[in-house]
Amino acid sequence: MLYIVPTPVGNLDDMTFRAIDVLNACDVILTEDTRTSGKLLKHFNIDKPLWAFHAFNEHKALKSIIDHLQQGKNIALISDAGTPGISDPGFLLVRACVAEGIKVSCLPGATAFVPALVASGMTTDKFYFEGFLPHKKGRQTRLKYLSTLDVTIILYESPHRLVKCLEEIRDFLGEDRKVCVAREISKMFEELLTLPVTEAIAHFSNTPAKGEIVVVIEAYTKPPKVKSEFSKEKKQNKV
């Protein structure tokens, strides 16, 4: 069986008893970074073989992992933080297991976007998880699509691209849109700021953000107020 095992996004106390039991019972643990995961496993006295499985080798390693599973091995997949398969490697392996009839069990556990969404104060009954936007090609296309949604939107972003991301939210989704910038979820310096996107730009331009970041964007209830160049483009498209 393949076990998908969430790991803490910050506070090690978020590790579940069941996750520890499963990792101790498995034959092999797949991990993005053996050094990062090695520290986590050492903390919980888990001593199992670690195999690297990440975005740069997942295609090459896939057949070998499937072979071991078919031979009766129990394998656990973990990520550096959070639930594997959410904006990190893992999807290909799960899909391959399902196709081969190999049982997959995903444990419930830590994610970064759920605490950020719930604590943002924004609508939670309907939301759209985008994850990381493309760095270059296709980025504007995704932003234009997001501007058409009337639900809460969730993004992942890195600290050094945060201000650029907020500026794009202002330009494509509207300057009157509120955002919640959540960083360092569950860690000592956890911070959540909910404010208009223009104020968020000013704040993080003067106070650069650090750590892992989730950006929650409020659902719009009226057409967004965007820069004139984008408004003009939309009018031309209608004609």
> Could you read off the pLDDT of 83-136 as tens digits, one per residue?
998 877 788 899 999 999 999 999 998 899 999 999 999 999 999 999 999 988
Q: Cα–Cα distance between 162 and 155 in angstroms, integer?
A: 11
Global pTM reads: 0.83
Q: Cα–Cα distance between 54 and 10 in angstroms, integer?
A: 20
* The residue count for the chain: 239
Average pLDDT of the segment spanning 21-41: 94
Give the whole-number percent of the chain exceeding pLDDT 90. 75
Report the chain's C-alpha Rg in angstroms. 20
Query: Two tokens at 143?
Result: 């932003």
Query: Two tokens at 19?
Result: 């996750």
113-224 sits in which CATH class?
A: alpha beta
Instruction: Determine the pLDDT at residue 211.
Output: 87
Q: How many DSSP H helices and E strands does the chain contain? A: 9, 10
Secondary structure class of 7 (helix, strand, coil): strand
Strand partners of residue 183: 191, 213
Secondary structure class of 237 (helix, strand, coil): helix
Distance of CA 18 to the CA centre of its chain: 22
| Domain extent listing, the chain | 2-106, 113-224
b/e for 49-62, b at 16 or more Cβ within 10 A? Answer: ebbebbeeebeebb
Q: Cα–Cα distance between 180 and 42 in angstroms, integer?
A: 35
> Could you read off the pLDDT of 169-207 as tens digits, one per residue?
999 999 989 999 999 999 888 999 999 999 999 999 999
pLDDT category, 239, cuts 50, 70, 90?
very low
Give the whole-number percent of the chain exceeding pLDDT 70. 92
2-106 sits in which CATH class?
A: alpha beta
Query: Two tokens at 134?
Result: 């493309």
DSSP characters for 174-222? -TT-EEEEEESTTSTT-EEEEEEHHHHHHHHHHS---S-EEEEEPPPSS
Instruction: Determine the pLDDT at residue 223.
Output: 60
Strand partners of residue 30: 51, 77
Instruction: Determine the pLDDT at residue 113.
Output: 94
Q: For residue 80, how many other CB atoms are within 10 A of its CB?
A: 16
